[in-house]
């Protein structure tokens, strides 16, 4: 073994591929019984590989400028080429998101693992990295093992979905070794809401045709009301700003101006209940009316303030859902603890990639492409380190 990769998610497998293409003998150590479990779980509802948009637009979605050259080297175009090179047919949806035609992660992963095996990459499962002691120490089915590779690439993920392997157990190990680490926080997550009883019939309902606004960002995506709160793509798009303190508001009629909403509310209510009057005047569906009652009580009587409430309804929540439930995590190894090659300055010969680095991006293909790009960069740099 020349090179050790710890973690068999997308970033780790891409690093292993880069090392193997450079002629290195590679072993991948994975703590779980099978590789890429989070990748497979994310792909169950349709694997969003990347997004078909100009590179400048694509890189602007990330919170870290230092990722730009890595994404220029392996961005949306290269991600599509890589997948089709594995025999996976792709299509681009109406929003620019790129998916496998099969809408699953498993065919791509099978083809990728077969390719890596043909290149000589060895995969060790149920190998849990537990520390540093004159080498990399693992708990394995055969007992404790210590490996001393020439180079190592860490691809251990963040702290979201720990049951699938990204349990952040690496944080104290690297912290004790002198690596700077920003605290892990939930990203692309939902928010807790203490609903009143009248909202129970709407649990599981998708909210469509609304706009969420926070920190200067506007999201028109769909989201879902759950017994615990709100979640879904529309919420995730503004979640970073809300997590960091921005107020969240809901526009129940985003296709109508405030003036138009006000004009419709000037129509006589007659003998209609307030709910029926609003339904007829603005064509609000039951879930929108329920949200207006939930977060807008007491409803203002004059049409002007009521129109304002409908166009800017404060979303009352009690903060982000836990990190374990988040789609991804923010925080991780600080850029200042890494060289340009993503080598840890505190641990020469050890590189890091993927979600364990301190960067953040929204859902929509950005997360996976970012992991692949950093994995490729770290793997190639590790190969040059010999």
> Can you give the pLDDT at residue 97?
96
Asked whether the predicted pLDDT for residue 70 surpasses 80, the reply is yes
Q: How many CA atoms lie within 13 A of 253 on its CB side?
A: 23
All structural domains of the chain with their residue ranges: 3-186+326-384, 191-314
Q: Give the N- to C-terminal CA distance of the chain in Å, as an integer.
A: 13
Q: What is 3-186+326-384's CATH number? A: 3.50.50.60
How many helices and strands, by DSSP H and E, does the chain display?
Answer: 13, 21
Mean pLDDT, range 138-162, rounded to an integer: 97
pLDDT in tens, 351-377: 999 999 999 999 999 999 999 999 999
- Do 55 and 72 form a contact (C-beta atoms < 8 A)? yes
Give percent of the chain above pLDDT 90: 95
Nearest 10 degrees: Cα torsion 147, 152, 153, 154: 50
Task: Say what the pLDDT of residue 80 is.
Answer: 98
| pLDDT above 80 (res 207) | yes
CB 179 within 8 A of CB 30: no
Residue 46's pLDDT is what?
A: 86
Q: What's the confidence (pLDDT) of residue 270?
A: 87
List, in sequence order, every beta strand (DSSP E) within 179-247: 181-187, 191-192, 206-207, 211-214, 217-219, 223-226, 229-231
Verdict on whether the full-model pTM lies above 0.75: yes
Mean pLDDT throughout 37-51? 90
Instruction: From 38, 73, 47, 43, select the one nearest 59 (Cα to Cα).
Output: 73
Q: Each residue of 16-32: pLDDT tens digit?
A: 999 999 999 999 999 99
Residue 238 Cα distances to 121, 217, 230, 362, angstroms: 40, 6, 12, 9
Helices marked H in the chain = 10-21, 37-42, 55-59, 68-73, 76-85, 106-118, 170-176, 233-243, 258-265, 274-282, 286-296, 303-311, 366-384
């Amino acid at each position: 073994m020349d090179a050790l990769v710890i973690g068999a998610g997308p970033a780790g497998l891409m690093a292993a591929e880069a090392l193997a293409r450079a002629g290195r003998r590679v072993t991948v150590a994975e703590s779980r019984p099978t590789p890429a479990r989070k990748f497979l779980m994310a792909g169950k509802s349709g694997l969003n590989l990347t997004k078909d948009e100009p590179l400048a637009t694509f890189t602007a979605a990330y919170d870290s400028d230092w990722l730009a050259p890595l994404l220029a080297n392996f961005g949306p175009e290269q991600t599509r080429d890589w997948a089709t090179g594995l025999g996976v047919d792709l299509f681009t949806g109406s929003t620019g998101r790129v998916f496998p035609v099969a809408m699953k992660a498993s065919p791509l992963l099978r083809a990728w693992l077969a390719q890596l095996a043909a290149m000589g990459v060895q995969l060790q499962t149920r190998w849990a990295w537990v520390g540093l002691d004159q080498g990399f120490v693992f708990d394995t089915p055969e007992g404790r093992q210590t490996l001393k590779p020439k180079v190592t690439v860490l691809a251990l993920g963040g702290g979201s979905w720990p049951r699938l392997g990204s349990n952040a157990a690496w944080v104290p190990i690297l912290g004790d070794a002198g690596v700077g680490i920003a605290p892990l926080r939930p990203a692309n997550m939902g928010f807790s809401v203490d609903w009143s009883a009248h909202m129970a019939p709407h649990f599981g309902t998708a909210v469509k045709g609304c706009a969420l606004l926070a920190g200067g960002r506007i999201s028109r995506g769909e989201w879902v009301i759950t017994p615990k709160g709100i979640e879904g793509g529309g919420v995730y798009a503004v979640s970073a700003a809300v997590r960091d303190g921005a107020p969240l508001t809901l526009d129940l009629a985003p296709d109508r101006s405030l003036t138009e909403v006000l004009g419709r509310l000037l129509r006589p209510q007659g003998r209609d209940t307030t709910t029926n009057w609003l339904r007829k005047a603005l064509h609000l569906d039951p879930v929108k009316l329920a949200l207006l009652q939930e977060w807008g009580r007491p409803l203002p009587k004059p049409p002007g303030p009521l129109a304002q409430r409908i166009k800017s309804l404060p979303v009352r929540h009690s903060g982000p859902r836990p990190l374990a439930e988040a789609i991804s995590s923010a925080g991780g190894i600080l850029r200042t603890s890494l060289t340009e090659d993503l080598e840890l300055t505190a641990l020469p010969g050890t590189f890091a990639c993927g979600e364990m680095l301190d960067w953040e991006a929204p859902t929509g293909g950005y997360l996976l492409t970012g992991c692949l790009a950093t994995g490729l960069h770290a793997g190639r740099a590790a190969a040059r380190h010999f």
